[in-house]
Structure 1
Amino acid sequence: MWQGSGVDLDAYLTRVGYQGDVAPDLATLRGLHAAHVDAIAFDNLDAVLGRPTVPLDLDSLQEKIVRQGRGGWCLEQVVLVAAVLDRIGFTFSAFAGRTRIRTGNKFGPALHVALCVQLDDEPWLFDVSFGAYGPHVPIRLAENSRLDGDWPFDLVREPNGEYVLRFLRPEGPAELYGFTTDARYPSDFELLNHFCLTHPRSPFNHRMVLQRTQPEVRHLLAGSTLTEIRPGEPATFRELDKDETLSAPEEIFGITLEPGDVQALRKILDGP
Structure 2
Amino acid sequence: MSDSMWQGSGVDLDAYLTRVGYEGDVAANLATLQRLHAAHVEAIPFDNLDPLLGRTEVPLDIAHVQEKIVRQGRGGWCLEQVALMAAVLERIGFTFTAFAGRTRIRTGSPFGPALHVALAVHAEDGLWLHDVSFGAYGLHEPMRLMDGARLDGDFSFDLVREMSGERVLRFLRPEGPAELYGFTMDMRYPSDFELLNHFCLTHPRSPFNHRVVLQRTQARVRHLLVGNQLTELRPGEPAAVRELDEAEVLAALQEIFGISLRSADIMALGKVLACR
Tell me the TM-score normalised to structure 1 length.
0.99
Q: Which runs of 4+ in 1 moved over 3 A?
A: none
Alignment of 1:96-245 (within 5 A): 96-120=100-124, 122-245=126-249
Structure 2 counterpart of 1:15: 19
Alignment of 1:55-66 (within 5 A): 55-66=59-70
Structure 1 counterpart of 2:275: 271
Kept in 1, the 8 Å contact 2:30–2:124? The answer is no
The DSSP-based 3-state class of the residue aligned with 1:132 is coil
**Which of 88, 94, 103 lines up with 1:84 in the alignment?**
88
Offset from partner CA, 1:180-228 (integer Å, 9 cap, x none):
0110000000000000000000000000000000111100000000000
The reply to whether residue 54 of structure 1 matches residue 58 of structure 2 is yes
**Aligned residue type for 1:145:** A
The DSSP-based 3-state class of the residue aligned with 1:210 is strand
Identity %: 75
Structure 1 counterpart of 2:44: 40
Whole-Å separation in 2 of the counterparts to 1:239 and 1:170: 24
Kept in 2, the 8 Å contact 1:226–1:237? The answer is yes
Kept in 2, the 8 Å contact 1:169–1:234? The answer is no
**Aligned residue type for 2:245:** D
Whole-Å separation in 2 of the counterparts to 1:54 and 1:147: 33
**Structure 2: tracts of 5 or more residues without a match:** none
**Structure 1: tracts of 5 or more residues without a match:** none
**Aligned residue type for 1:197:** L
**Which of 15, 26, 29 lines up with 2:30 in the alignment?**
26
**Aligned residue type for 1:10:** D
Tell me the TM-score normalised to structure 2 length.
0.97
The DSSP-based 3-state class of the residue aligned with 1:131 is coil
Shift of 1:237: 0.2
**Aligned residue type for 2:263:** P
**Aligned residue type for 2:28:** P
Whole-Å separation in 1 of the counterparts to 2:103 and 2:42: 22
Shift of 1:120: 3.3
Q: Which moved more, 1:117-126 or 1:199-208?
A: 117-126
**Aligned residue type for 1:47:** P
Shift of 1:121: 5.6
Whole-Å separation in 1 of the counterparts to 2:54 and 2:242: 26
How many residue pairs end up in the alignment?
Answer: 272
**Aligned residue type for 1:78:** V
Q: Which moved more, 1:119-128 or 1:68-77?
A: 119-128
Shift of 1:13: 0.3
Kept in 2, the 8 Å contact 1:147–1:153? The answer is yes
The reply to whether residue 260 of structure 1 matches residue 242 of structure 2 is no
Kept in 2, the 8 Å contact 1:128–1:135? The answer is yes
